[in-house]
Chain A
């Protein structure tokens, strides 16, 4: 658990509880990288990360940032997946820092300049999409359940004709 007092560190755009949840999450990311670099293990850190990112995702959704919540979850899902491979996670510290920074800027744009938000969002979607393509093509390892027919069936249902 993080016991120090958490201060919001990005432009104030959300309710106080959501802002604090986001700051806690970001502090946790730093803590995980720090632990990994010192080769230290902490019990349940992966669960703590999951709970923290899901907490912020729920709060974002509840406050009307549904679309942004999906994008944030897509970034966190990659991080969560790579937590099982600590050496790879450290190697990709810059990769994740860039993604979280881009997400910060997107949130800031939403509150600061709504007129430019749509083009900023398209830019973010392309950037985040390219990063996901790199991750899922070169880094991620399929699960033991990977089956193209099943995945096609699920995709068919969720996208329709």
Chain B
């Protein structure tokens, strides 16, 4: 039975289907049979989940607020793309533009233009389904993760070593949570971090109790 302690980046990629990282996170879950997180990971995961959920909704929320402003009766995909072009810049503009086509095809269908009320309804349904999907994923994740016992040791020497390797405060706490759990667990525990700084930093600290330290490059995206 292979066990692993997971960091927040991996879990966020698992829940939100963020391109190649999502497939790698699925691969990590398939590789192990028991998964652990600490209360620090849970807190950070919750915070990042809710912010990302809000980011996903924001394009459609912006669109909803804009829709009545042009005061037109019919809406076409072109109107939504124009909205994205006018209201966003750089990457966000491209991301918003690209999301119009799958949204229109699924929630509007083959119509080339629709009435305002139908448009309003399509956006509401899409927003609801997006929220159901991400929250169902989150709830499923919570059901399969096991929380480690609360760490009582600060491990100041290891903390200093991790700091000297450039690992940030929050990531150091999480790494030490995993280390504490691994030291007190009878079976071997791997540490999997999709955060490059944390992964490289932990790799360079030999005192950590993990059986193995793995990063996103250790898992396939297929």
Contact = CB atoms under 8 A, between A and B. Distances in A.
A73 B56 contact: no
Contacts of A128: 50
Contacts of B61: 57, 69-70, 73
Nearest to A150: B106
B19 A50 contact: no
B129 A146 contact: yes
Interface string A142-161: 11011110111111111111
A1 to B, nearest CB: 18
For the residues of B in contact with A, the DSSP-based class is: helix
Interface in A44-98: 50, 54, 57-58, 61, 69-71, 73-74, 77, 80-81
B136 A137 contact: yes
B128 A140 contact: yes
A53 B134 CA distance: 24
Contacts, number: 133
A140 B131 contact: yes
Contacts of A2: none
Number of chain A interface residues as a range: 35 or more
A11 interface: no
Closest 9 CB pairs of A and B: A129-B50, A136-B135, A157-B99, A143-B125, A157-B98, A152-B17, A150-B106, A136-B131, A153-B102
A70 B132 CA distance: 17
Contact of A81 (B46, B65, B124): B124
A66 B141 CA distance: 31
Contacts of B16: 155, 159
A125 B132 contact: no
Contacts of A54: 64-65, 68
Interface of A: 50, 54, 57-58, 61, 69-71, 73-74, 77, 80-81, 122, 125-126, 128-130, 132-133, 136-137, 140, 142-143, 145-148, 150-161
Nearest to B65: A58
B46 to A, nearest CB: 6
With most chain A CB atoms within 10 A of its CB, the pick from B65, B99, B136 is B65
Given A54-B64, A70-B57, A159-B18, A146 B132 contact: yes
With most chain B CB atoms within 10 A of its CB, the pick from A54, A142, A146, A158 is A158
Nearest to A60: B65
Contacts of A152: 17, 22, 133
Given A145-B125, A150-B106, A159-B16, A140 B132 contact: yes
Contacts of B124: 77, 80-81
Contacts of A143: 125-126, 128-129
Given A133-B135, A140-B128, A145 B107 contact: yes
B120 A155 contact: no
B151 interface: no
Contact of A145 (B49, B56, B106, B134): B106
A160 B132 contact: no
